[in-house]
Amino acid sequence: MPENPGVTQIKSLKPNRIPGTWEQVTPEWMTAALAARHPDARVADTTILTIDDGTNRRARFGIDYAAGSGPAAVFLKAHAPGHRIVHLRNGNLFNEARLFASGATLPVDHPLVYKSIVDYLRLDFLLVMEDLALRGADPRDASRPLSPAQVADGLRGLARLHSHYWGLTAKTHPRLRWLKTWRPGKGWQVGLRRRIPTGLSRAAAELPEAVKAFSADAIVELWSRYVSTLSRGPMTLLHGDAHIGNTYVLNGRQVGFLDWQVVRRGDWSQDVGYFLVSAMTEQDRRDHEAELIEIYRNALEVPAGQCPSKAQAWLRYRTTPAYGMAIWLSTLGTDGYQSADISALLARRFTSAFVDLDCVAALRDSGA
Protein backbone atom coordinates (compact mmCIF):
# COMPACT_ATOMS: atom_id res chain seq x y z
CA MET A 1 0.00 0.00 0.00
CA PRO A 2 1.53 3.40 -0.96
CA GLU A 3 2.77 5.59 1.84
CA ASN A 4 1.14 8.70 0.28
CA PRO A 5 -2.08 7.53 -1.33
CA GLY A 6 -4.03 9.77 -3.67
CA VAL A 7 -7.70 10.65 -3.28
CA THR A 8 -8.92 7.71 -5.38
CA GLN A 9 -6.85 5.27 -3.34
CA ILE A 10 -8.14 6.69 -0.05
CA LYS A 11 -11.75 6.30 -1.11
CA SER A 12 -11.14 2.71 -2.25
CA LEU A 13 -9.88 1.49 1.14
CA LYS A 14 -12.08 -1.46 2.12
CA PRO A 15 -13.59 -1.77 5.63
CA ASN A 16 -11.49 -4.82 6.51
CA ARG A 17 -8.22 -3.41 5.19
CA ILE A 18 -5.70 -1.90 7.59
CA PRO A 19 -4.80 1.71 6.70
CA GLY A 20 -1.19 2.07 5.61
CA THR A 21 -1.20 5.66 6.88
CA TRP A 22 -3.49 7.35 9.37
CA GLU A 23 -4.62 9.73 6.61
CA GLN A 24 -6.38 6.77 4.99
CA VAL A 25 -8.91 6.62 7.83
CA THR A 26 -11.91 8.11 6.02
CA PRO A 27 -15.45 8.71 7.31
CA GLU A 28 -16.64 5.71 5.28
CA TRP A 29 -13.99 3.44 6.79
CA MET A 30 -14.73 4.66 10.32
CA THR A 31 -18.48 4.15 9.79
CA ALA A 32 -17.80 0.51 8.92
CA ALA A 33 -15.44 0.10 11.88
CA LEU A 34 -18.09 1.28 14.35
CA ALA A 35 -21.02 -0.51 12.72
CA ALA A 36 -21.06 -3.60 14.96
CA ARG A 37 -21.75 -1.51 18.07
CA HIS A 38 -23.29 1.58 16.46
CA PRO A 39 -25.22 0.33 13.40
CA ASP A 40 -27.14 3.60 12.94
CA ALA A 41 -24.08 5.83 13.05
CA ARG A 42 -22.83 7.50 9.88
CA VAL A 43 -19.54 9.33 10.28
CA ALA A 44 -19.31 12.73 8.61
CA ASP A 45 -15.70 13.54 9.41
CA THR A 46 -12.65 12.19 11.24
CA THR A 47 -9.82 14.30 12.66
CA ILE A 48 -6.41 13.04 13.74
CA LEU A 49 -5.95 14.37 17.28
CA THR A 50 -2.68 12.71 18.27
CA ILE A 51 -0.17 10.27 16.81
CA ASP A 52 2.21 8.17 18.91
CA ASP A 53 4.11 5.74 16.68
CA GLY A 54 6.61 3.73 18.72
CA THR A 55 6.70 -0.04 19.25
CA ASN A 56 3.19 0.09 17.79
CA ARG A 57 1.47 2.65 15.58
CA ARG A 58 -1.11 4.57 17.62
CA ALA A 59 -3.43 7.44 16.81
CA ARG A 60 -6.40 9.13 18.45
CA PHE A 61 -9.23 10.31 16.20
CA GLY A 62 -12.05 12.75 16.85
CA ILE A 63 -15.34 11.86 15.14
CA ASP A 64 -18.28 13.96 13.89
CA TYR A 65 -21.52 12.26 12.85
CA ALA A 66 -23.89 12.93 9.97
CA ALA A 67 -26.48 10.54 11.43
CA GLY A 68 -26.93 8.41 14.53
CA SER A 69 -24.43 8.54 17.38
CA GLY A 70 -21.24 6.94 18.57
CA PRO A 71 -18.07 7.76 20.48
CA ALA A 72 -16.72 11.30 20.21
CA ALA A 73 -13.21 9.88 19.81
CA VAL A 74 -11.51 6.52 19.29
CA PHE A 75 -8.02 5.16 19.63
CA LEU A 76 -6.43 3.12 16.80
CA LYS A 77 -3.53 0.72 17.32
CA ALA A 78 -1.56 -1.20 14.70
CA HIS A 79 1.90 -2.74 14.51
CA ALA A 80 4.91 -0.63 13.66
CA PRO A 81 6.87 -2.27 10.80
CA GLY A 82 10.19 -2.11 12.65
CA HIS A 83 8.98 -4.27 15.54
CA ARG A 84 6.88 -6.91 13.78
CA ILE A 85 9.56 -9.58 13.59
CA VAL A 86 10.34 -9.28 17.32
CA HIS A 87 6.66 -9.69 18.21
CA LEU A 88 6.32 -12.58 15.76
CA ARG A 89 9.39 -14.30 17.25
CA ASN A 90 7.95 -13.93 20.76
CA GLY A 91 4.53 -15.21 19.73
CA ASN A 92 2.77 -11.90 20.45
CA LEU A 93 2.11 -10.47 16.99
CA PHE A 94 -1.62 -11.21 16.63
CA ASN A 95 -2.63 -12.05 20.20
CA GLU A 96 -4.50 -8.91 21.21
CA ALA A 97 -6.40 -8.64 17.94
CA ARG A 98 -7.34 -12.32 18.03
CA LEU A 99 -8.47 -12.06 21.63
CA PHE A 100 -10.90 -9.23 20.91
CA ALA A 101 -12.00 -10.71 17.58
CA SER A 102 -12.95 -13.88 19.49
CA GLY A 103 -15.51 -12.04 21.59
CA ALA A 104 -14.08 -13.59 24.75
CA THR A 105 -15.47 -12.29 28.04
CA LEU A 106 -12.90 -10.37 30.09
CA PRO A 107 -14.35 -9.77 33.58
CA VAL A 108 -11.90 -6.99 34.41
CA ASP A 109 -12.05 -3.39 33.26
CA HIS A 110 -10.44 -2.97 29.84
CA PRO A 111 -10.83 -0.74 26.78
CA LEU A 112 -13.93 -1.45 24.67
CA VAL A 113 -12.96 -2.63 21.18
CA TYR A 114 -15.17 -1.61 18.26
CA LYS A 115 -13.27 -3.40 15.51
CA SER A 116 -10.42 -5.92 15.36
CA ILE A 117 -8.69 -6.74 12.07
CA VAL A 118 -5.97 -9.39 11.65
CA ASP A 119 -3.90 -9.41 8.47
CA TYR A 120 -1.77 -12.56 8.60
CA LEU A 121 -0.31 -12.06 5.12
CA ARG A 122 1.09 -8.61 5.90
CA LEU A 123 1.99 -9.42 9.52
CA ASP A 124 -0.27 -6.68 10.82
CA PHE A 125 -3.33 -6.02 12.93
CA LEU A 126 -5.56 -3.08 13.79
CA LEU A 127 -7.72 -2.36 16.82
CA VAL A 128 -10.31 0.42 16.92
CA MET A 129 -10.79 1.01 20.65
CA GLU A 130 -12.53 3.38 22.98
CA ASP A 131 -10.68 6.50 24.01
CA LEU A 132 -10.28 5.88 27.72
CA ALA A 133 -9.94 9.60 28.34
CA LEU A 134 -13.68 9.88 27.72
CA ARG A 135 -14.20 7.82 30.90
CA GLY A 136 -11.73 9.91 32.86
CA ALA A 137 -9.15 7.13 32.98
CA ASP A 138 -5.83 7.96 34.59
CA PRO A 139 -3.04 5.94 32.89
CA ARG A 140 -0.25 4.94 35.25
CA ASP A 141 3.41 4.06 34.94
CA ALA A 142 6.19 3.26 37.37
CA SER A 143 6.76 6.95 38.14
CA ARG A 144 3.21 7.14 39.54
CA PRO A 145 2.78 4.01 41.64
CA LEU A 146 -0.55 2.66 42.84
CA SER A 147 -1.66 2.70 46.45
CA PRO A 148 -2.13 -0.60 48.29
CA ALA A 149 -5.92 -0.12 48.03
CA GLN A 150 -5.68 0.34 44.26
CA VAL A 151 -3.45 -2.73 43.94
CA ALA A 152 -6.02 -4.68 45.94
CA ASP A 153 -8.71 -3.64 43.44
CA GLY A 154 -6.50 -4.71 40.53
CA LEU A 155 -5.88 -8.08 42.18
CA ARG A 156 -9.61 -8.61 42.68
CA GLY A 157 -10.06 -7.91 38.98
CA LEU A 158 -7.35 -10.43 38.08
CA ALA A 159 -9.01 -12.95 40.40
CA ARG A 160 -12.30 -12.51 38.50
CA LEU A 161 -10.50 -13.00 35.18
CA HIS A 162 -8.57 -16.04 36.39
CA SER A 163 -11.62 -17.61 38.03
CA HIS A 164 -13.67 -17.24 34.85
CA TYR A 165 -11.07 -19.18 32.83
CA TRP A 166 -9.78 -21.53 35.53
CA GLY A 167 -8.91 -24.87 33.93
CA LEU A 168 -8.81 -23.29 30.46
CA THR A 169 -8.28 -25.74 27.57
CA ALA A 170 -9.06 -25.79 23.87
CA LYS A 171 -12.07 -27.97 24.68
CA THR A 172 -13.50 -25.73 27.38
CA HIS A 173 -13.07 -22.57 25.27
CA PRO A 174 -12.77 -23.49 21.57
CA ARG A 175 -12.73 -19.84 20.47
CA LEU A 176 -9.45 -19.51 22.37
CA ARG A 177 -7.82 -22.70 21.08
CA TRP A 178 -5.13 -20.54 19.43
CA LEU A 179 -3.98 -19.24 22.83
CA LYS A 180 -0.39 -20.20 23.59
CA THR A 181 0.66 -21.76 26.87
CA TRP A 182 3.48 -19.88 28.63
CA ARG A 183 6.78 -21.57 27.80
CA PRO A 184 10.39 -20.30 27.86
CA GLY A 185 10.61 -20.19 24.07
CA LYS A 186 13.81 -19.58 22.15
CA GLY A 187 12.44 -16.35 20.70
CA TRP A 188 12.17 -14.82 24.15
CA GLN A 189 15.54 -16.16 25.27
CA VAL A 190 17.37 -14.76 22.24
CA GLY A 191 16.20 -11.25 23.05
CA LEU A 192 16.86 -11.56 26.77
CA ARG A 193 20.39 -12.89 26.31
CA ARG A 194 21.17 -10.09 23.88
CA ARG A 195 19.82 -7.20 25.97
CA ILE A 196 20.30 -8.12 29.65
CA PRO A 197 24.11 -7.53 29.61
CA THR A 198 23.49 -3.90 28.59
CA GLY A 199 20.73 -3.59 31.19
CA LEU A 200 23.04 -4.92 33.91
CA SER A 201 25.67 -2.40 32.91
CA ARG A 202 23.23 0.51 32.90
CA ALA A 203 21.72 -0.48 36.27
CA ALA A 204 25.01 -1.43 37.96
CA ALA A 205 25.07 1.47 40.40
CA GLU A 206 21.65 0.62 41.84
CA LEU A 207 21.52 -3.17 41.71
CA PRO A 208 21.47 -5.12 44.98
CA GLU A 209 24.81 -6.81 45.61
CA ALA A 210 23.12 -10.23 45.52
CA VAL A 211 21.91 -9.58 41.97
CA LYS A 212 25.32 -8.39 40.77
CA ALA A 213 26.57 -11.91 41.44
CA PHE A 214 24.46 -13.26 38.56
CA SER A 215 25.56 -13.22 34.95
CA ALA A 216 23.09 -12.41 32.18
CA ASP A 217 22.93 -16.09 31.25
CA ALA A 218 22.17 -17.02 34.86
CA ILE A 219 19.32 -14.48 34.96
CA VAL A 220 17.86 -15.92 31.76
CA GLU A 221 18.15 -19.40 33.26
CA LEU A 222 16.18 -18.28 36.31
CA TRP A 223 13.57 -16.71 34.02
CA SER A 224 13.33 -19.99 32.09
CA ARG A 225 12.98 -22.05 35.26
CA TYR A 226 10.13 -19.86 36.45
CA VAL A 227 8.30 -19.76 33.11
CA SER A 228 8.58 -23.55 32.87
CA THR A 229 6.42 -23.81 36.00
CA LEU A 230 3.54 -21.85 34.44
CA SER A 231 2.20 -24.90 32.60
CA ARG A 232 1.70 -26.94 35.78
CA GLY A 233 -1.63 -27.51 37.46
CA PRO A 234 -4.86 -25.69 36.58
CA MET A 235 -4.17 -23.00 34.01
CA THR A 236 -6.15 -19.88 33.22
CA LEU A 237 -6.20 -16.94 30.84
CA LEU A 238 -3.43 -14.50 31.73
CA HIS A 239 -3.11 -10.90 30.68
CA GLY A 240 0.58 -11.79 30.43
CA ASP A 241 1.94 -8.23 30.62
CA ALA A 242 0.14 -6.78 33.64
CA HIS A 243 2.84 -4.37 34.77
CA ILE A 244 1.79 -0.93 35.97
CA GLY A 245 2.45 0.68 32.58
CA ASN A 246 -0.50 -1.29 31.19
CA THR A 247 -2.93 -0.10 33.84
CA TYR A 248 -5.24 2.86 34.38
CA VAL A 249 -7.31 4.08 37.31
CA LEU A 250 -10.97 5.12 37.22
CA ASN A 251 -12.52 7.35 39.90
CA GLY A 252 -9.30 7.18 41.89
CA ARG A 253 -9.83 3.58 42.96
CA GLN A 254 -10.81 1.12 40.18
CA VAL A 255 -7.93 -0.41 38.21
CA GLY A 256 -8.24 -1.49 34.58
CA PHE A 257 -5.83 -3.29 32.26
CA LEU A 258 -4.93 -2.46 28.67
CA ASP A 259 -2.50 -3.79 26.05
CA TRP A 260 -3.30 -7.52 25.90
CA GLN A 261 -0.62 -8.44 23.34
CA VAL A 262 1.11 -10.98 25.57
CA VAL A 263 -2.12 -12.81 26.55
CA ARG A 264 -1.29 -16.42 27.43
CA ARG A 265 -2.57 -19.57 29.08
CA GLY A 266 -0.77 -20.41 32.30
CA ASP A 267 -0.52 -20.29 36.08
CA TRP A 268 -2.14 -17.36 37.91
CA SER A 269 1.11 -16.31 39.59
CA GLN A 270 2.57 -14.63 36.51
CA ASP A 271 -0.11 -11.93 36.37
CA VAL A 272 -0.26 -11.46 40.11
CA GLY A 273 3.47 -11.14 40.78
CA TYR A 274 4.18 -9.01 37.72
CA PHE A 275 1.39 -6.60 38.61
CA LEU A 276 1.97 -6.38 42.35
CA VAL A 277 5.74 -5.87 42.32
CA SER A 278 5.65 -3.35 39.46
CA ALA A 279 2.75 -1.30 40.81
CA MET A 280 4.00 -0.15 44.22
CA THR A 281 7.01 1.45 45.78
CA GLU A 282 9.43 -1.03 47.30
CA GLN A 283 8.42 -0.07 50.83
CA ASP A 284 4.70 -0.36 50.14
CA ARG A 285 5.29 -3.75 48.56
CA ARG A 286 7.22 -4.97 51.60
CA ASP A 287 4.58 -3.66 53.98
CA HIS A 288 1.52 -5.01 52.17
CA GLU A 289 2.43 -7.89 49.83
CA ALA A 290 1.42 -10.69 52.21
CA GLU A 291 -2.04 -9.25 52.83
CA LEU A 292 -2.47 -8.48 49.13
CA ILE A 293 -1.72 -12.06 48.11
CA GLU A 294 -4.41 -13.13 50.59
CA ILE A 295 -6.85 -10.63 49.06
CA TYR A 296 -6.24 -12.20 45.64
CA ARG A 297 -6.48 -15.76 46.97
CA ASN A 298 -9.72 -15.10 48.85
CA ALA A 299 -11.25 -13.47 45.76
CA LEU A 300 -10.73 -16.59 43.65
CA GLU A 301 -13.88 -18.58 42.87
CA VAL A 302 -12.53 -21.90 41.66
CA PRO A 303 -13.46 -25.59 42.11
CA ALA A 304 -13.08 -27.04 45.58
CA GLY A 305 -9.57 -28.30 46.20
CA GLN A 306 -8.03 -26.19 43.41
CA CYS A 307 -7.60 -22.91 45.25
CA PRO A 308 -3.98 -22.57 46.40
CA SER A 309 -3.50 -22.64 50.16
CA LYS A 310 -2.02 -19.62 51.90
CA ALA A 311 1.40 -21.27 51.99
CA GLN A 312 1.19 -22.39 48.36
CA ALA A 313 0.13 -18.94 47.14
CA TRP A 314 2.93 -17.24 49.06
CA LEU A 315 5.54 -19.65 47.67
CA ARG A 316 4.30 -19.17 44.11
CA TYR A 317 4.37 -15.39 44.54
CA ARG A 318 7.96 -15.54 45.81
CA THR A 319 9.06 -17.18 42.55
CA THR A 320 7.66 -14.41 40.33
CA PRO A 321 10.43 -11.76 40.53
CA ALA A 322 12.58 -14.04 38.35
CA TYR A 323 10.29 -13.11 35.48
CA GLY A 324 10.11 -9.35 36.00
CA MET A 325 13.81 -8.98 36.80
CA ALA A 326 14.83 -10.51 33.45
CA ILE A 327 12.21 -8.59 31.47
CA TRP A 328 13.06 -5.16 32.85
CA LEU A 329 16.83 -5.59 32.80
CA SER A 330 16.38 -6.58 29.17
CA THR A 331 14.11 -3.59 28.48
CA LEU A 332 16.62 -1.30 30.18
CA GLY A 333 19.18 -2.71 27.74
CA THR A 334 17.16 -1.57 24.73
CA ASP A 335 16.47 1.84 23.25
CA GLY A 336 13.01 2.89 22.12
CA TYR A 337 10.76 0.41 23.92
CA GLN A 338 10.41 2.21 27.25
CA SER A 339 12.06 5.30 28.68
CA ALA A 340 15.30 4.61 30.52
CA ASP A 341 13.89 6.11 33.73
CA ILE A 342 10.82 3.84 33.71
CA SER A 343 12.87 0.75 32.87
CA ALA A 344 15.37 1.54 35.64
CA LEU A 345 12.57 2.02 38.19
CA LEU A 346 11.01 -1.32 37.33
CA ALA A 347 14.35 -3.13 37.20
CA ARG A 348 15.03 -1.83 40.71
CA ARG A 349 11.62 -2.93 41.99
CA PHE A 350 11.99 -6.44 40.63
CA THR A 351 15.61 -6.93 41.66
CA SER A 352 14.75 -5.74 45.17
CA ALA A 353 11.83 -8.17 45.33
CA PHE A 354 14.08 -10.91 43.97
CA VAL A 355 16.36 -10.47 46.99
CA ASP A 356 13.70 -9.70 49.61
CA LEU A 357 11.64 -12.78 48.73
CA ASP A 358 14.64 -15.11 48.33
CA CYS A 359 13.46 -15.99 44.86
CA VAL A 360 16.17 -18.55 44.22
CA ALA A 361 15.15 -20.59 47.27
CA ALA A 362 11.49 -20.26 46.30
CA LEU A 363 12.21 -21.60 42.82
CA ARG A 364 14.05 -24.54 44.35
CA ASP A 365 11.28 -25.24 46.86
CA SER A 366 8.65 -25.08 44.14
CA GLY A 367 10.50 -27.68 42.06
CA ALA A 368 11.59 -25.29 39.32
Closest CA to 251 of 117, 145, 109: 109
Neighbours of 48 (CB within 10 A): 13
The whole-number pLDDT of residue 13 equals: 65
Question: Is the domain of 42 the same as that of 79?
Answer: yes
Residues 182-229: tens digit of each pLDDT: 999 998 999 999 999 999 999 999 999 999 999 999 999 999 999 999
- Tell me the CATH number at 332: 3.90.1200.10
Domain membership of residue 2 (yes or no) is no
pLDDT at 285 over 80: yes
Domain membership of residue 238 (yes or no) is yes
Question: Is the domain of 232 the same as that of 272?
Answer: yes
Judge whether 245 and 219 are in contact, CB under 8 Å.
Answer: no
Give the CA count within 13 Å in the CB-facing half-sphere of 296. 31
Residues 149-189: tens digit of each pLDDT: 999 999 999 999 999 999 999 999 999 999 999 999 998 99
Question: Is the domain of 61 the same as that of 170?
Answer: no
Q: What is the pTM of this model?
A: 0.93
Question: Is the domain of 157 the same as that of 88?
Answer: no
Q: Which domain holds residue 105?
A: 7-133
Q: What order of strands is seen across the sheet that includes strand 138-139?
A: 138-139, 247-250, 254-257
Question: Is the domain of 53 the same as that of 180?
Answer: no
What does DSSP say about strands 124-130 and 73-79: parallel, antiparallel, or unpaired?
antiparallel
Between residues 233 and 363, the one the model is more confident about = 363
Phi, psi of 215, rounded to the nearest 5 degrees: -80, 170
pLDDT at 11 over 60: no
Domain end (from 90, 114, 133)? 133
Question: Is the domain of 94 the same as that of 189?
Answer: no
Domain end (from 133, 153, 180)? 133
Closest CA to 139 of 249, 10, 18, 284: 249
According to DSSP, the residues that pair with 197 across neighbouring strands are none
DSSP, residue by residue, 54-84: SSEEEEEEEEEEEES---SEEEEEEE-GGGH
Question: Is the domain of 79 the same as that of 123?
Answer: yes
Question: Is the domain of 23 the same as that of 121?
Answer: yes
Domain membership of residue 295 (yes or no) is yes
